[in-house]
C-alpha cells in the first residue's frame, strides 16, 4: 500500500506570516496523523521561512507515524537530521534561495558527495531517499550510493497531465520499474493533487510513498483537513 506523508511546511508559512503560533504546526501534524496520514514531512530551509529547527525538535517526540525530513544537505541540515534521527531523510539539491524544489540530483556528478551522506545517515539508522528525475542512468547512480529509496520529482508529470496523461506518466512507469529492479524503494512528490494522483498511483508500480503539501493544504482551505486527507487516501486505494 502506498503511504501518504503530509508536508506541513505550508502551515508554518501561514503561522510565520503573522507571528505567534496560529496555526499550530504540531497540532496540525498530530491531527493529520489522527485523520489517517501515515507520515509527516518537513523541509527546513536555512532561512527558516516556514519550518524552523525548533519545529523539527518539537515534532519528533510527538509523532507516531513516519517522520521524513527533506532538504539540501548543508552542514546545518546534516547536524539537525543527525540530532533528530527521523525515520527517513530525503536529500534534495535546493539552492538556498529557491522558492520550491525544482530539480532532482545529478547523481553521477555528485556521486561521491551523495555516497558519503548516505553512509553517514544509514549508520545512524535513518532510511535515505534521494530526490531525482526519471533518467535511468541517473537512477542507477543513485542505487550505487547505497540509498534505500528515490523520490521521483513529479512536477513534469503534473504539468503535462491535463494535456496527455499517458505520455506524462510513461517516464515514471519506466523509472519505477528500473528502480525496483535495482533494489530501490520508490517515493514521489511535487505538484501531485486530487486531479492527478489517482492516475499516477494506478499507473506507477512499486510506489511506497507520496509526499504532498502545497496542494493538500490548498484543498483543506475549502474541504477541511480531515476530509482532504480522506480524499487523498482514497486516491491511493
Q: What is the pLDDT of residues 160-215, one digit of tens each?
A: 999 999 999 999 999 999 999 999 999 999 999 999 999 999 999 999 999 999 99
Identify the burial level of 173 via C-beta atoms within 10 angstroms of its C-beta, where 0-12 means exposed, 13-18 middle and 19 or more buried.
middle
Quick check: is 190 catalytic? yes
pLDDT at 117 over 70: yes
Left (φ > 0), alpha (ψ -120 to 50) or beta: where does 202 sit?
alpha
Task: Please count the CA atoms within 13 angstroms of the CA of 98 that sit on its side-chain side.
Answer: 13
pLDDT at 3: 98
Is 206:236 a contact under the CB 8 Å cutoff?
A: no
User: Mean per-residue pLDDT for 52-78?
Assistant: 97
- The 10s digit of each residue's pLDDT in 125-137 is 999 999 999 999 9
Tell the residue number behind the cell numbers 521524513, with chain if given: 68
- The 10s digit of each residue's pLDDT in 68-112 is 999 999 999 999 999 999 999 999 997 655 555 567 999 999 999
Find the CATH number of the domain harbouring 198: 3.20.20.70
Q: Is 207 helix (H, G, I), strand (E, B) or coil?
A: strand
Residues in Cβ contact with 94 at an 8 Å cutoff, skipping those fewer than 6 apart: 45, 71, 72, 101
pLDDT at 103: 76
Report the mean per-residue pLDDT for the chain. Answer: 96
Quick check: is 195 catalytic? no
Per annotation, catalytic residue among 33, 43, 50, 209: 43
d(CA 151, CA 92): 9
pLDDT at 94: 74
Residues in Cβ contact with 179 at an 8 Å cutoff, skipping those fewer than 6 apart: 139, 143, 150, 185, 186, 206
pLDDT at 202: 98
**Which domain, by its residues, includes 120?**
3-235
Q: How many domains does the chain have?
A: 1
User: Mean per-residue pLDDT for 3-30?
Assistant: 97
pLDDT at 100: 57
Per annotation, catalytic residue among 50, 151, 190, 209: 190
What distances in angstroms separate CA 206 from CA 41, 179, 209, one per listed residue?
A: 20, 9, 9
Q: Where are the alpha helices (DSSP H) in 38-192?
A: 53-59, 75-84, 111-123, 136-144, 155-161, 165-181
Identify the burial level of 24 via C-beta atoms within 10 angstroms of its C-beta, where 0-12 means exposed, 13-18 middle and 19 or more buried.
middle
Torsion angle defined by CA atoms of residues 40, 204, 168 and 151, in that order, rounded to the nearest 10 degrees: 40
**Which residues pair with residue 210 across a beta bridge?**
4, 188
Quick check: is 214 catalytic? no
pLDDT at 157 over 60: yes
Amino acid at each position: 500500500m502506498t503511504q501518504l506523508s503530509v508536508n506541513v511546511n505550508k502551515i508554518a508559512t501561514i503561522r510565520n506570516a503573522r507571528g505567534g503560533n496560529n496555526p499550530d504546526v504540531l497540532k496540525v501534524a498530530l491531527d493529520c496523523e489522527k485523520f489517517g496520514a501515515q507520515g509527516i514531512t518537513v523541509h527546513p530551509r536555512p532561512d527558516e521561512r516556514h519550518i524552523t529547527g525548533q519545529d523539527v525538535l518539537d515534532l519528533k517526540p510527538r509523532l507516531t507515524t513516519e517522520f521524513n525530513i527533506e532538504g539540501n544537505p548543508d552542514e546545518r541540515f546534516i547536524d539537525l537530521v543527525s540530532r533528530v534521527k527521523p525515520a527517513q531523510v530525503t536529500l534534495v539539491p535546493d539552492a538556498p534561495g529557491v522558492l520550491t524544489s525544482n530539480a532532482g540530483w545529478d547523481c553521477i556528478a555528485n556521486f561521491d558527495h551523495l555516497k558519503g551522506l548516505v553512509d553517514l545517515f544509514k549508520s545512524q539508522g535513518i532510511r535515505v531517499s534521494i530526490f531525482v528525475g526519471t533518467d535511468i542512468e541517473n537512477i542507477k547512480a543513485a542505487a550505487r550510493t547505497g540509498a534505500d529509496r528515490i523520490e521521483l520529482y513529479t512536477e513534469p508529470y503534473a504539468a503535462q497531465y491535463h494535456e496527455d496523461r499517458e505520455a506524462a506518466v510513461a517516464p515514471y512507469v519506466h523509472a519505477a520499474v528500473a528502480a525496483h529492479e535495482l533494489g530501490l524503494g520508490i517515493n514521489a512528490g511535487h505538484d501531485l493533487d486530487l486531479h492527478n494522483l489517482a492516475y499516477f498511483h494506478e499507473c506507477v508500480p512499486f510506489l511506497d510513498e507520496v509526499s504532498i503539501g502545497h496542494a493538500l493544504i490548498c484543498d483543506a482551505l475549502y474541504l477541511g483537513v480531515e476530509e482532504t486527507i480522506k480524499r487523498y487516501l482514497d486516491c491511493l486505494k
